[in-house]
Structure formats: structure tokens, C-alpha cells
């Protein structure tokens, strides 16, 4: 009878330890996902104002957070105006003392094929 009680106690303890480890890892992933999403969205590669989203491709839980994201937008503004917006954003971010941490973001702007407006491609990667 005594051996049976000890074995049950060991199994319960092992299950609690394994469950705690999974919860701890899940919490770290969730915090990293939220932090990456916030930094990318608000500091490193915010969406261009009044641009229309054309396509979004991402490889993990949600776009513009953990993993890689390619976000394509179109704007009626000319290429230089859009590029200036992203230059100003980067300068303001650096002046605010923000660091990239585990997030990386880039922007590319080119003229639309019909010549009126800009094609904006935002790339972000976090934890990759």
C-alpha cells in the first residue's frame, strides 16, 4: 500500500512540473509575440496612413509579430512622400531611444505599375 501512494505522488509531481514548464514556455512566447507586434506596429514599420492593404503573408500565429511577415499596401501618394514618411518614422524612433530587440523591420517603396501612387512593402521578422 505504501509503495502505491509514493508512486502516485511521484506521478502527480512529475505532471505538475511538466505542466508548469509548458505554461512557462507558453508565457514567454506570448510575451515575445505581444512585444514584437507592438514594436513593429508602433515604432519600426507602422502602416502608411490611408494606404490600402493588398496582401499579407505571415508564417506564425499572426502578422507583424513573431515570425516573418510581408505586408503589401498601395497608396495614392507619390514614392518620395512615402519614403519620407518612413525616414521620419525611423529618425523619431531612434531619437526616442528605441532599440530593435528581437524585432527587425524594413520598408520598400516603388511606383505602381500604372504610375499613379506607390506600392509599399513592409517586411518584419521577430525571433527568427
Q: Is 116 exposed, middle or buried (0-12, 13-18, 19+ CB in 10 A)?
A: exposed
Domain ranges of the chain: 2-126
For the record, the C-alpha cell of 38 comes out as 507592438
| Average pLDDT of span 10-19 | 91
For 93-127, the pLDDT digits (tens) are 889 988 877 888 899 999 999 878 999 999 999 87
The C-alpha cell of 76 is what? 495614392
Q: Name the pTM for this structure.
A: 0.79
Q: Could you give the CA distance from residue 79 to residue 64 in angstroms, rounded to a whole number?
A: 23
Residue located via cell numbers 502505491: 4
Amino acid at each position: 500500500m505504501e509503495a502505491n501512494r509514493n508512486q502516485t505522488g511521484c506521478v502527480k509531481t512529475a505532471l505538475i512540473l511538466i505542466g508548469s514548464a509548458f505554461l512557462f514556455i507558453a508565457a514567454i512566447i506570448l510575451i515575445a509575440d505581444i512585444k514584437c507586434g507592438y514594436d513593429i506596429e508602433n515604432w519600426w514599420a507602422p502602416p502608411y496612413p490611408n494606404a490600402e492593404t493588398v496582401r499579407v503573408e505571415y508564417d506564425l500565429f499572426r502578422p507583424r509579430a513573431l515570425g516573418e511577415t510581408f505586408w503589401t499596401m498601395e497608396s495614392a501618394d507619390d514614392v518620395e512622400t512615402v519614403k519620407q514618411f518612413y525616414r521620419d518614422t525611423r529618425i523619431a524612433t531612434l531619437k526616442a531611444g528605441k532599440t530593435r530587440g528581437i524585432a527587425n523591420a524594413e520598408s520598400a517603396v516603388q511606383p505602381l505599375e500604372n504610375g499613379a501612387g506607390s506600392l509599399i512593402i513592409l517586411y518584419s521578422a521577430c525571433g527568427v
